Amino acid sequence: MSHLVRRILLAAISALLAAGCAEGVEDSRDLRRAELALAPDLPAPSFELTRVVVQFEGPGCDSEILCPSAAACVEALGGQVEAIFSNVGALTAELPADQLQALAECSSVRRISPDRPVISTRNDRTGERFNSHPAATPVENFVVKTTGADQVHARGIHGAGVTIALVDSGLDEDHAAFGRGHGSAWVASQSSLIGGNPNNLQDNYGHGTLVAGAIRSQNTALGIAPEANLLSIKVLQADGSGRVSDVIAALDWLIENRDLYNVRVINLSLSAPVFESYTTDPLCQAVQHAVEGGIVVVGAAGNAGFGDNQTLFGGIGSPANHPAVITVGASDPANTVVRSDDSVAWFSSRGPTLFDGVAKPDLLAPGVNLRLPVPTNATLARLSSVHPDPDGAWLNASGTSFSAALVSGTVALMLEQTPGLNPTEVKAILEFTAQDVINTHPLEQGAGLLNVAGAVQLASLWLTDAEVGADNLSSPLPDLPTSLIAGETVLWGTTIIWNGYALDDPVYYDLDLDVLVVGVVSGNGIIWDGGRIATVIWLDYNISGISLVSIRQSAYDLGTVWGTGIIWDGGFTAYNSVSFSLSSLNLWQGRLVDFGALQGLMVNGTPTRGMLDTDGSSVIWVPEF
């Protein structure tokens, strides 16, 4: 496009935005729609430039003049588009804050959000801790033994051929834990989105290498999937911070290059603050595009489970608050390989999610005192100065970042065993085989403890080409399926948490309605529709004496159905929303607003976090500290 033509086009767009008289633009000037397009934490109008992420949709007509693209609208309003992420329908831009309202009125703009900060799931105030003392757990290959991964390795399954993308702070592939570069063929690719330099690959912070070690270390602290391929995209700086737009850029690139590198899993051991529903949050929506593209996304729940000397609920960050993400909390193995003494780590973030009230986490994995590799010159290595290792290259680390990495590695094992599994099936298998932690609330543990042996066993029986309504296992499971881990019999929890509903009883479906079915039937496994985003219809029947009415919602829809004891009580004001009152275990003081988004009470415009009341029966929303 010539400079003159471009100037004419921008002038025409500017005139339309200012006058609002053309039919195509006039239709977009519904003030309510424009208001909903603006995230609540955007800055007040001013001449100051502000950096935003704009989600867009296709034009409503064929004319670029009458239906300008989001990028054209940004430029017409005096802004600058920095990057367009076509695979996720978003762009990042800088423009004056007093032009945000006008941009929201552009017909192709769906949502405008700040380019929020992102950090690794490490928080000095609440949980992720590091030290370089000798390992508190003397058992070699501790993690693989306490999860049952050693049994999978003994069968020759190590994650070979599966690529896990690490969107983190980089990767020191020359670390001794990885063979000091001799096995560099396992690094599928490395790139950096920091400072505009794609060759800035050094892991200055150290977090990405720690996460990689949990997956692929080949030292005495063996990783879960020691033969998986890793693809590192650096989005975090030397202090562990980054921007949402860089993470979105990484997801956009991974979707584009999925087949080239056989990217089957994305590990996101990072988090952004939650200021809006996952249905509009730009990072959550980018993740949804990745899952819809067939990539399993594993996210750390976060380390905001404790504050002000008490357990906190509602601390799940973005994008772990999206139902499509496999959200992993941390368990404390108590420095033993047996699992009967395991518990939820004190720092692990609990559900429900802010705004939407989704039941999270999905499951737990070990996250306390894990022996992991770190670059000797990284920021995290320098934080530990007491009794260092001889080369300072190892840390005992705690945090949900590393719990998520263990689950990502487990997914690689499952996909080596059964390559045809899709993200929906992977999540179902992980949850179904997890071990329930006794006397622990579902909002703390999800489906329970990661069971690698059970997950790969169930994956080996899975028929990826089964018809809807047919048994999807090659052979039936016993009524009480178990695994033997570290000398203990581990009972599978057989619980599925889907779209916020925790379910462990049989669920049947109406074939004529072509619905997504969640549950177990006659011991023959999980009935699943094979896949992607489908519709859930809960028919009128009883589960454990609880009557469920007919409800329609999709797996990523705005309504949320809760299970026993975690169902929101109180009023609701919008369509496609569900509210029940069952018992004293109900959560309370939640309210549904803006098309079914669930949020706690607002204090000075800030979403609040929930905590249990004095008798432990309800969650009360309180100001976030």
**Residue 81: Cβ within 10 Å count:** 18
Q: What percent of the chain has pLDDT over 90?
A: 46
* Residue keyed to tokens 């105030």: 125
pLDDT band at 62 (very low <50, low <70, confident <90, very high): low
> Which position among 207, 289, 322, 441 bears the catalytic label?
207
Per DSSP (E only), the strands in 437-507 are 482-485, 488-491, 496-498, 501-503
pLDDT at residue 244 greater than cutoff 90: yes
Domain 3-115, what architecture? Answer: 2-Layer Sandwich (3.30)
pLDDT at 55 > cutoff 80 = yes
**Which residues share a beta bridge with 542?**
547
Q: How many CB atoms are located within 10 Å of the residue 447 CB?
A: 30
> What pLDDT band is residue 109 in, cutting at 50, 70 and 90?
very high
63, amino acid identity: S
Buried b (16+ CB within 10 A) or exposed e, 334-360: eeebebeebbbbebbbbbbbbbbbbbb
Residue 399 in this model has a pLDDT that exceeds 90: yes
More confident residue, 17 or 441: 441
- Is 443 in a helix, a strand, or coil? helix
Rounded to an integer, the average pLDDT of 395-409 is 95
- Please provide residue 10's backbone torsions phi and psi, each rounded to the nearest 5 degrees: -65, -35
SS3 94: strand
Please name the residues in contact with 565: beta carbons below 8 A apart, sequence gap of 6 or more: 442, 582, 583, 585, 586
User: What CA–CA distance (Å, rounded) separates 122 from 400?
Assistant: 8
pTM of the model: 0.79
For residue 19, pLDDT beyond 80: no
Report the C-alpha gap between 417 and 220 in whole angstroms.
Answer: 24
Q: Tokens 């840390």 correspond to what residue? A: 395
- Residue count of the chain: 625
Contact 100, 113 (CB under 8 A): no
The amino acid present at 46, given as its one-letter code, is S
Q: Among the options 115, 150, 168, 203, which is catalytic?
A: 168
What is the largest distance, in Å, between two alpha-carbon atoms of the chain?
76
Tell me: pLDDT of 568 over 60.
Answer: no
Considering the chain, tell me which residue range(s) the CATH 3.40.50.200 domain(s) occupy: 119-461
Q: For residue 305, is pLDDT > 70?
A: yes
pLDDT band at 541 (very low <50, low <70, confident <90, very high): very low
* Residue 416 host element (H or E): helix 400-417
Sign of CA dihedral 110, 113, 115, 119: negative
Task: Of 499, 363, 479, 344, give the one whose Cα is nearest residue 431.
Answer: 363
Token output for 290? 């990745």
Residue burial 458-484, b: 16+ Cβ < 10 Å; e: rest: bbbbbeeebebeeebbeeebeeebebe
Q: Is the pLDDT of residue 173 over 70?
A: yes
119-461 has which CATH code? 3.40.50.200
- pLDDT at residue 126 greater than cutoff 70: no
Q: Which residue has the tokens 């819809």?
A: 292
401: annotated active-site residue: yes
- Where is pLDDT greater, at 504 or 167? 167
For residues 149 and 78, what is the distance between their CA atoms, to the nearest angstrom? 56
* Alpha-carbon span 288 to 297, nearest angstrom: 9
pLDDT of residue 597 exceeding 50, the answer is no
Name the segment(s) of the chain with CATH classification 3.30.70.80. Answer: 3-115
Given the residues 401, 408, 483, 577, the one annotated as active site: 401
594 vs 239, more confident: 239
